[in-house]
Amino acid sequence: MIYADNAATTKMSEAAIHTMTELLQDAWGNPSSLYTHGQKAKEVLEKAREDVAAAIGAEPREIIFTSGGSEADNQAIRSAAESGRRKGKTHIISSAFEHHAVLHTLERLKKEGFEVTLLDVHENGLIRPEEVEAAIREDTCLVTIMTANNEIGTIEPIREIGAVCRAKGVLFHTDAVQAVGHIPLNVKEDNIDLLSASAHKFHGPKGVGFLYVRKGVPVTNLIEGGAQERGRRAGTENVPGIAAMATALKEAIAHMPENTTKLTALRDRLIDGLLQIPHSALNGDRAQRLPGNVNFCFEGIEGESLLLLLDDKGIQASSGSACTSGSLDPSHVLLAIGRVHDVAHGSLRLSIGEDLTEEDADYIIRSVGEVVTYLRGFSPIWRDLMAGKKEFIL
Amino acid sequence: MALYSEKVMDHFRNPRNVGVIEDANGIGEVGNAKCGDIMKMYLKIEDGIVVDVKFETFGCGSAIASSSMATELIKGQPVSEVKKLTNKAVAEALDGLPDYKMHCSVLAEEAIQAALEDYEKRTGIKI
């Protein structure tokens, strides 16, 4: 089996599983309790906080543990919005291809009277810092732009965007769910005020994530209750999960240089191989992209069929077709980079992991080629394209 | 639980009656690329019987399986019976489809009805 859907979730690392299972046995106390067993859990929790903070160049007190990336996105945006509203600033800037945890939160804020500007992500899937600057107004309270896109893997110029925001006195949040543990990040050097991350995207457990909040940035609670997380997120902490996240993150960062070299070579091999398929196209900038992300459109076929047949060949991947999203529209990300519906339905995302081999990559290229050819063989669109009744888009 | 029934997967993996009938006398095409599904049905009708049927489909697994199953249900049948084919019959023959995929069986029904209308138009024979 070849697992090529690491952007959806990753397999937990051995070390993270070890940390988690050990702590489920040994550190089940409540970190808020004052007796020995509770304090042991508290120690584990605070050590994890130090490790997570160090991984992104933050201070431990700037880390809030959450249930994952979505919660962190919600809390970050809500916090900046509430703080802005108190000063009469109700304008937010984001981009058209953010994760729905961001876009849906912004939709809700619009109903509450906020105005939202969604920046163009251009054909290459890269946001331009000068366009962020131009969009900032007197009443802008937040810019929220993802570090790396979850579908097409493009890496945004967040340091430059952060600098623009800093200069204009506007808060900058970045959804770094796909980036943390995969590319170097430093919240201070990258001018980030708020950052969201999720453990299961870097070989940690599901249901755990964190929000970085720069010291001095006001935070709004989404979950009221106890005084956990310095009163910023109530609920007894998931100590084993949080510690396993810290283990996974430390490991990811320690191995980042060699993983990046290996994955980038495999990614480029896959891209070059898949480009040989006629009427196909890579989605997103080729260079400014995550080491493990490959995303293609193939004209004349539909993505779900492609995924099911690849699954039969032992390859597990993802698509932005409508049929895989449960709606009639294909991926908003592919539409945002200008892919028309017809070809956006025929997309394939391969998000590879460190365990992939060159042989696996070649097998993927061969298999995708076979399946695409097979499906085109009885596609009425392909017939029309080949007969010249319809113009090729790709 | 699997996304699709075994029957759907069987018809998806091994679609029956795939292709084109060059001398078809009833052709129906429904759906559009924007929504991600297009079905094209080719019928060869002789003496009121669907003697041959073939299909081409651009679409998801259930769209391909629905097309395949629909062709099996109508092959060799009198046109009067074919006209009564419903999407429900297609979906039931596939041991059911997920709710949000029922429109695939609707497309299969519509493609066949469109092909029958085309046949009526071409031949002037009212079914």
- In sequence order, the β-bridge partners of residue B30 are B39
Inter-chain contact A383–B37, Cβ cutoff 8 Å? no
- The whole-angstrom separation of Cα A115 and Cα A106 is 9
Nearest-CA distance from A323 to chain B in Å? 6
pLDDT digits (tens, 9 = 90+) for A43-87: 999 999 999 999 999 999 999 999 999 999 999 999 999 999 999
- The whole-angstrom separation of Cα A360 and Cα A382 is 29
Q: Which residue stretches of chain A have pLDDT < 70?
A: 324-328
At A26 the pLDDT is 93
- The whole-angstrom separation of Cα A194 and Cα A173 is 4
SS3 per residue for chain B: CCCCCHHHHHHHHCCCCECCCCCCCEEEEEEECCCCEEEEEEEEEECCEEEEEEEEEECCHHHHHHHHHHHHHHCCCEHHHHCCCCHHHHHHHCCCCCHHHHHHHHHHHHHHHHHHHHHHHHHCCCC
The token pair that represents A198 in the structure block: 């999720």
- The whole-angstrom separation of Cα A375 and Cα A312 is 14
SS3 per residue for A238-302: CHHHHHHHHHHHHHHHHCHHHHHHHHHHHHHHHHHHHHCCCCEEECCCCCCECCCEEEEEECCCC
Nearest-CA distance from A381 to chain B in Å? 7
Q: Rounded to two decimals, what is the model's pTM?
A: 0.95
* Per-position b or e across A208-237, b if 16+ CB within 10 A of its CB: bbbbbbbeebebeebeeeeebbeebbeeeb
At A327 the pLDDT is 67
Q: Helices B61-74 and B6-13: crossing angle, nearest 10°? A: 90
Residues of B with a catalytic annotation lie at 35, 104
Nearest-CA distance from B32 to chain A in Å? 9
- In sequence order, the β-bridge partners of residue B55 are B18, B41
Query: A328 to chain B: which residues are within 8 Å by CB?
Result: 35-36
Give the distance from CA A392 to its chain's centroid. Answer: 32
Is A297 one of the catalytic residues? no
Contact A280, A394 (CB under 8 A): yes
At A326 the pLDDT is 61
Among B19, B36, B64, beta carbon nearest to A330: B36
Give the distance from CA B6 to its chain's centroid. Answer: 19
Give the distance from CA A116 to its chain's centroid. Answer: 21
- The whole-angstrom separation of Cα A215 and Cα A346 is 45
Q: Of these residues, A141, A165, A297, A323, which one is catalytic?
A: A323
CB atoms < 10 A from the CB of A393, how many?
A: 15
Contact A201, A178 (CB under 8 A): yes
Q: What is the DSSP string of A312-354?
A: HTTEE-B---HHHHTSSS--HHHHHTT--HHHHTTEEEEE--T
What is the H or E stretch that residue A17 is in?
helix A14-26
- The whole-angstrom separation of Cα A220 and Cα A213 is 11
What contacts A14, CB < 8 A, 6 or more positions away?
none
A72 Ramachandran zone, left/alpha/beta (phi>0; psi -120 to 50): alpha
φ, ψ (nearest 5 deg) of residue B125: -90, 125
* Per-position b or e across A239-260, b if 16+ CB within 10 A of its CB: bbbbbbbbbbbbbbbeeeeebb
Q: Which residue stretches of chain B have pLDDT < 70?
A: 1
Among A328, A330, A380, beta carbon nearest to B58: A380
Q: Is A47 exposed, middle or buried (0-12, 13-18, 19+ CB in 10 A)?
A: middle
Inter-chain contact A323–B36, Cβ cutoff 8 Å? yes
What contacts B113, CB < 8 A, 6 or more positions away?
B28, B83, B85
Query: A321 to chain B: which residues are within 8 Å by CB?
Result: 36, 60
Distances (CA, A) of A66 to A16, A63, A178, A215, A270: 18, 9, 16, 18, 35
- The whole-angstrom separation of Cα A337 and Cα A350 is 18
Q: Is A74 exposed, middle or buried (0-12, 13-18, 19+ CB in 10 A)?
A: buried
Contact A290, A270 (CB under 8 A): no
- Interchain contact B84–A (C-beta under 8 A): no
3-class SS of residue A370: helix
At A321 the pLDDT is 82
What contacts A131, CB < 8 A, 6 or more positions away?
A119, A120
Q: Tell how many helices (H) and how many strands (E) occur in chain A.
A: 15, 12
At B36 the pLDDT is 87
Instruction: State which amino acid sits at residue A282.
Output: L
